[in-house]
Amino acid sequence: MTLLVHPRHMRALKYCARGARAFFQRHGLDWQRFITTGIPAEELIATGDAMAAAVVDQAKREEQANG
């Protein structure tokens, strides 16, 4: 099963939407898909960005907490 990262994971880390949108544009990622359905963690990890990795880690923590 693919781990999906959602805006709530970004908000939990207090990342701003403006910066996140710019990040998505810079890396050719689909912002609208992220907002509506989430984005696979692998796509964020593939950017090699430490802040993206932190958001993925947040999604993993939430998934583990929820079982």
Rg of the chain, C-alpha, whole Å: 11
pLDDT, tens digit, 9 for 90 and up, residues 8-53 = 999 999 999 999 999 999 999 999 999 999 999 999 999 999 999 9
Instruction: Give the 3-state secondary structure of residue 42.
Output: helix
Q: What is the pLDDT of residue 27?
A: 96
Instruction: Give the 3-state secondary structure of residue 44.
Output: helix
- The C-alpha atoms of residue 28 and residue 59 are separated, in whole angstroms, by 21
pLDDT surpassing 90 at residue 67 = no
pTM of the model: 0.92
Q: What is the pLDDT of residue 61?
A: 96
Q: What is the pLDDT of residue 32?
A: 97
